[in-house]
Structure 1
């Protein structure tokens, strides 16, 4: 616990204009989003030594999704160049915050693009989704930033990010959405790691996106996900905390998107 820091960013007045692959049938409720965000931050505060809160910026509706702006492993950080043009610039305040923490920083440069939501660090390995937001040039910068870590490139066949459908819930154990595309991505991971991981399948969009902090998993409690999701995860994780982020799901957001976790 003493080595863990979480960085989060507030919900701007413009959050209802955040990017979405499919326009939500029910509009985002800004005040509910802020309450849900605060609950998530409170949960993190009980699991880490320090939570650093960065202010929202109305210029960037997607700015609460701070995960996409950097990849951090130990004392190294890669500042990303987000794949969506409207999000380019969000990374500036993140660079400042990580610099103040004394991290060794490198940056993605054009024409490279990469979103942190496409980068999964598990079992000492990096898995990066080649997606509509992360390109080959961006992946090269990731490999250069972490030369001592094996990087596995996974094709994102559907959806937004790799971690939209796959995340780590315990050592050598991945939560994987029960869909054809997610299964194919997991198969690629297994092929490249000689079957290193166990699989925990989840039903419902967003259910496989979880945050692992120590031996605690934060999972989605959003209406519409299986009622037994918490019990399902408890078969594999020591502690499970469900959090409702319904307003963030409306704009393609998941739990991992809402924080940048640093373990030093």
Structure 2
């Protein structure tokens, strides 16, 4: 896979291995589920370094994986966490869960490294449908800045810490090169698409209703609390973690958007021919 030296053996675990994109020589796909100890044990046989990504808030997945990794003799765990853990004012459900996950890894007896990204630029793909159909972006607190990061930079950083020595007991905060707002992202997308996009500010009530269609109620409230911290400026700080780990500047939102513009572009209109 991209970024890994030739000859490195990779094992990728997912509930449905057939859905894992990418691959190539030396890549093995295996079925695994955090709630199935047997599947974790099988997936970790012979593994020396593991990259831990969990998404089920409060589900105990970090604990399940750490326990299985320790039993399997894994030497090093790199955990994907979140930049919010460093914010003393952040006490929402998601941030508490990430802190607990970090504590589990750090107390595991294995070598550990923490990657703490700010929000992914790819989160704005949730706007794609309304951009395509209405030319509109809807978001909460559209004027608040977030130093969001290109997920490709997070991947490059992960490869470095997985492959190199010297990162044990260290944590890296990964951000983009500047804080951007939803209003600013809307303007940049519009310029790239060559159209005038409209930004529509969501109130808290409408934002809660929109999120409720995608997440459980406790997670919705945690996301709204997180948005409040962003409004207060808690997510605008820029760090050098990407450059330190990858040796290259963090990617801009414009560059990310340009490479993913097809997701936002309206489908071409075609005329149906008569028969």
Larger relative CO (CA 8 A, sep 6+): 1 or 2?
1
Greater fraction helix: 2
TM-score with structure 2 length normalisation? 0.33
TM-score with structure 1 length normalisation? 0.34
Greater fraction strand: 1
